[in-house]
Copies of this chain bind each other. A is one copy, B any other.
Amino acid sequence: MSLDSNMSEIVNISFDKTFENCKLPINQLLTTEQQAIIMDNINIVSYNRKDIIVKQFSASSHIYYIIKGILKVSSEQRKGKNLVVKIDTTGSFVGLISLLGGDSYNFTVTAVENCTLAQIPIATLKSVMLQNSRFALEISQLTCRHGLFLVNRLAGLLYKQLPGRVADLILYFADDIFCNNEFEFPANRTELAELCGTTKESLIRTLSEFNHDRIIELQRNRIRIISYDILKTLSRFG
């Protein structure tokens, strides 16, 4: 009860500035009425670390906007073989490609830390797209950029060998997620391995080597990049 009322307070605060950090300038693109359509149909939901937000192959009619938090988007390849295709954070849309391309999720989405998400019916989004072609074009460009990012990432996993892929992993967190040379991995070794398309043992070994070779300084989840240049080189020559 106390938790519930506390929650709804958070929800209201967040609600007002929902699209503040959005990678798409929603507020410039949409008329006040169009914004209202979205706002009226939005639903704010909170998740705890490890909560499954959506399950691969499940039919769904909602996409998500990340108000706050970090989540992972993964593809279950077979029993016990998981591939984390990307990490998403505040300001991103989740499920856009899946629900514009079909009517079920192609990926499992899991909270990596506590998350506050806005649930948006895909029908609402589509109706606004139909009312506002500029917005439709922008959404279309956004999904294309996402698609290209994924394809490039997977092609990298396919052709680079472990040192290159682990370098990419570290650079991904440092440059794209935390914008900092020093950070705490928001995931355990198994999850990190799944981000590199490898096993936890192989990931651990490679990280230990980097640590030993003083490319990084690593203690448990805390990592500091010592030589950004070497990581870049490893990434390039994979």
* Chain B residues within an 8 Å CB radius of A23: none
Contact of A67 with B by CB under 8 A: no
Contact of A126 with B by CB under 8 A: yes
Q: Mark A12-37, 1 if CB is under 8 A from B, else 0.
A: 00000000000000000000000000
Contact of A130 among B134, B143, B197 (CB under 8 A): B134
How many residues of A are counted as interface, with CB atoms below 8 angstroms from the partner's CB atoms?
43
* Chain B residues within an 8 Å CB radius of A81: 159
Shortest A3–chain B CB gap in Å is 38
Q: Which of A86-111 contact B (CB under 8 A)?
A: 96-98, 100-102, 106
Contact of A238 among B78, B85, B129 (CB under 8 A): B78
Shortest A131–chain B CB gap in Å is 7
Q: How far is the CA of A19 from the CA of B147 in the complex (A)?
A: 25
Shortest A38–chain B CB gap in Å is 16
Contact of A133 among B97, B133, B197 (CB under 8 A): B133
Chain A binding surface SS class:
helix
Most chain B beta-carbon neighbours within 10 Å: one of A130, A139, A145, A154: A154
Contact of A97 among B75, B78, B130, B144 (CB under 8 A): B144
Contact of A207 with B by CB under 8 A: no
Contact of A158 among B83, B106, B130, B146 (CB under 8 A): B83
Could you tell me if B158 and A154 are in contact, using CB atoms closer than 8 angstroms?
yes
Complex: chain B residue closest to A132, CB-CB:
B133
Contact of A167 with B by CB under 8 A: no
Shortest A34–chain B CB gap in Å is 12
Contact of A151 with B by CB under 8 A: yes
* Chain B residues within an 8 Å CB radius of A237: 78
Contact of A129 among B85, B126, B133 (CB under 8 A): B133
- CB within 8 Å of B: which residues of A? 75, 77-78, 81, 83, 85, 96-98, 100-102, 106, 126, 129-134, 136-137, 139-141, 143-148, 150-152, 154-159, 197, 237-238
Q: Can you list 8 contacts pairing A with B, beta carbon distance less than 8 Å?
A: A78-B159, A78-B238, A85-B155, A97-B147, A98-B144, A101-B148, A102-B145, A147-B151
Q: Which A-B residue pairs are the 8 nearest by beta carbons?
A: A147-B147, A101-B144, A140-B140, A136-B136, A154-B154, A133-B133, A100-B144, A77-B159
